[in-house]
Structure 1
Amino acid sequence: MADSALGFSIPGRNARGRVVRIGPALEEVLEAHAYPEPLAHLLAEALVLAALLGSTLKEAGGQLTIQAQTKNGVVELLVADYKRGELRGYLRHDADRFAEAPADPSLFALFGQGYLAITFDQAITGERYQGIVPLEGGSLAEAAEHYFVQSEQIPSLLRIAVAQDDAGRWTAGGILLQHLPEGEEGRERIHVRLDHPEWEDVRMLGETVTEEELANPDLEMDALIWRLFHDEGEIRVLPQTPLGKGCRCDPVHIRQVVGQFSAEEHSEMADSDGIIRVNCEFCAKSFPIEVSDL
């Protein structure tokens, strides 16, 4: 499957993992915005990260949101989220500052002093869990690893790769490896130990994965898992989770929200033709509403 996530576990090493690859879905998201190449690459990383984390949600209606923000960088806001296998994302940037940035800008060059927020919204209980960490490291993946260390306190390895072929088509992939927590009450948390050799073996194997392998649409994800961990005694693979581009903007809902404003506010929002235009940042669509119809 071109757009999918595949979970697996290595019982003998108390480790779990997830591999993600997106192609057509990524193309759909990027085509709606026509970002410069470095910014398209950044958004692709964010979408892979959202898929890696979001596809771990146990509740079908849960949502995972990635948000990176700064006040003094080229990229002012980056958002990507996952819900029911659907991915969406966008970013806002300062065109003048981007023109002054290096040809291959680093994460710091794009954001400056920014932060990364990862939010899990539970569908059944309505509870929200959020972790916020500084945007540190050479990539969005490295910044997310800091999140796991600080917020979840689980040893983790995260790698993300983005590629564009000669025809300009985008493909991106990623892998997330984690050591399984061993409980809270009466047992020592894994992150406080000085050594845990089982995890170190898995981490070293995971670090051998290449960017080409992650973003190669011709390499099946289960084949990639086997290539990395075939020496382990047992690998359990879960059913694949299909992924796709999806936006939840609803013309009916938008109309209902606009209709709640007063007639005076409608006049202020409308253009010279008497039309209120509501834009969706995610899908870059405009929804025109005639004031006379409200």
Structure 2
Amino acid sequence: MASQPETFGDQPLRFSIPVRDARGRLVRLDAVLNEILAAHAYPPLIEKTLAEALVLTAMLGASLKDQGSQLTMQVHTEKGAIRLLVCDYKDGALRGYAQFDADTVAALPSDSTLFGIFGTGYLAITFDRVRPASEGGGRYQGIVPLEGSCLSEAAQNYFVQSEQIPTFIRTAVDHVDGRCVAGGILVQHLPEGEEGRERLHVRLDHPEWEHVGMLAFTVLPEELADPALPLEEIVWRLFHEEDEVRVEQAGILTKGCRCDPVHIRDVIAKFPAEDRAEMADESGDIVVDCEFCSRRFPVSLTSFNN
């Protein structure tokens, strides 16, 4: 029996180019992505959009190094084919789902743009860092309009507008041997304030950033979504002429729905008995739906009498 080809997925890679004041992350989602998608029978266009969002979330989440910190990305619209898209990352655990109007999606072409899928709306990215606020911790949320041809461009605009950090992002989604594979790269110019100097604002003509950005732009979508291509190889192809490039493997990604029957019951138990009675169905169960994993958790009213 022929052996299965080795794949390189579900483990983000961080890299930096010190002399160019640049940093970046690469992510390729494979088995984890298909676990998340398997919980829902998404139409191809929704599947592709959610896959791209999960790649973006994994790349942004890979920047969090403190245990317990969380990154959440949310897209909300009122009249789009996708009404709500939510993804989050916490300690290497990734999850996401999309709420959509099936009739509207069925009428869209497969190559629909961001506006075609969402209409007008906004992108919100929230960082919840567990370290003290005096050390850069706490909650920070940036919200920007949905602009660009795809979610990657919208996220790139987020960094330019909200974070004021020159950023390049590219993602790709493909199907390989019957499964969905998605990859992405994020490259940023380091704010000079991190080195104790005046903070660099949006200066896309900065000579070091212009050089790095031009190299990053040459990455091919098929490289990002090729499960047989190591992420380190992509870094080498892009930046092998640099004097020094540092790489660091981040932790393995997992499917991370955090719904738990015991926790759900404990939360419901905090409500007064009369409120619990109103929540229950005709069978005497309070049914809690998890949008992320598409599971239902029935909690019997009788369990609170024990």
What TM bracket, shorter-length normalisation?
Answer: over 0.9
Q: Which residue of 1 aligns with 2:10?
A: 3
Q: Distance in 2 between matches of 1:181 and 1:67?
A: 25
Q: Which moved more, 1:233-242 or 1:188-197?
A: 188-197
Q: Distance in 2 between matches of 1:236 and 1:74?
A: 42
Q: Which residue of 2 aligns with 1:21?
A: 28
**1:98-155 CA distance string (max 9 Å, x none):** 2332333221111111000000001133610010000110000000011000111111
Q: CA shift at 1:11, angstroms?
A: 1.4
TM-score by length of 2: 0.91
Q: Which residue of 2 aligns with 1:142?
A: 153
Aligned counterparts, 1:1-294, within 5 A: 1-125=8-132, 127-165=138-176, 167-183=177-193, 187-191=197-201, 193=203, 195-294=205-304
Q: Distance in 2 between matches of 1:192 and 1:243?
A: 32
Q: CA shift at 1:284, angstroms?
A: 0.9
Q: Distance in 2 between matches of 1:118 and 1:186?
A: 26
Q: Distance in 1 between matches of 2:155 and 2:68?
A: 23
Q: CA shift at 1:203, angstroms?
A: 0.5
Cα 1:213/1:184, change in 2 over 3 Å: closer
Q: Distance in 2 between matches of 1:54 and 1:208?
A: 24
Cα 1:229/1:95, change in 2 over 3 Å: same
CA contact 2:15–2:247 (8 Å) conserved in 1: yes
Cα 1:262/1:6, change in 2 over 3 Å: same
Q: Distance in 1 between matches of 2:196 and 2:263?
A: 50
Q: CA shift at 1:39, angstroms?
A: 0.4
Q: Distance in 2 between matches of 1:240 and 1:248?
A: 21
Determine helix, strand or coil for the equivalent of 2:27.
strand
CA contact 2:95–2:256 (8 Å) conserved in 1: yes
Q: Distance in 1 between matches of 2:32 and 2:196?
A: 45
Q: CA shift at 1:194, angstroms?
A: 7.2
Cα 1:107/1:193, change in 2 over 3 Å: closer
Structure 2 alignment gaps of length 5 or more: 1-7
Q: Distance in 1 between matches of 2:34 and 2:203?
A: 43
Determine helix, strand or coil for the equivalent of 1:183.
helix
Letter matched to residue 66 of structure 1: M
Q: CA shift at 1:226, angstroms?
A: 0.3
Cα 1:95/1:194, change in 2 over 3 Å: closer
CA contact 2:12–2:252 (8 Å) conserved in 1: yes
Q: CA shift at 1:191, angstroms?
A: 2.9
4+ residue runs of structure 1 moved beyond 6 angstroms?
none
Q: CA shift at 1:188, angstroms?
A: 4.5
Q: CA shift at 1:293, angstroms?
A: 1.7
Letter matched to residue 32 of structure 2: A
Aligned residues: 293
CA contact 2:166–2:204 (8 Å) conserved in 1: no
Letter matched to residue 63 of structure 1: Q
Q: Distance in 2 between matches of 1:293 and 1:197?
A: 66
Q: CA shift at 1:266, angstroms?
A: 2.7
Q: Distance in 1 between matches of 2:244 and 2:122?
A: 39
Cα 1:262/1:68, change in 2 over 3 Å: same
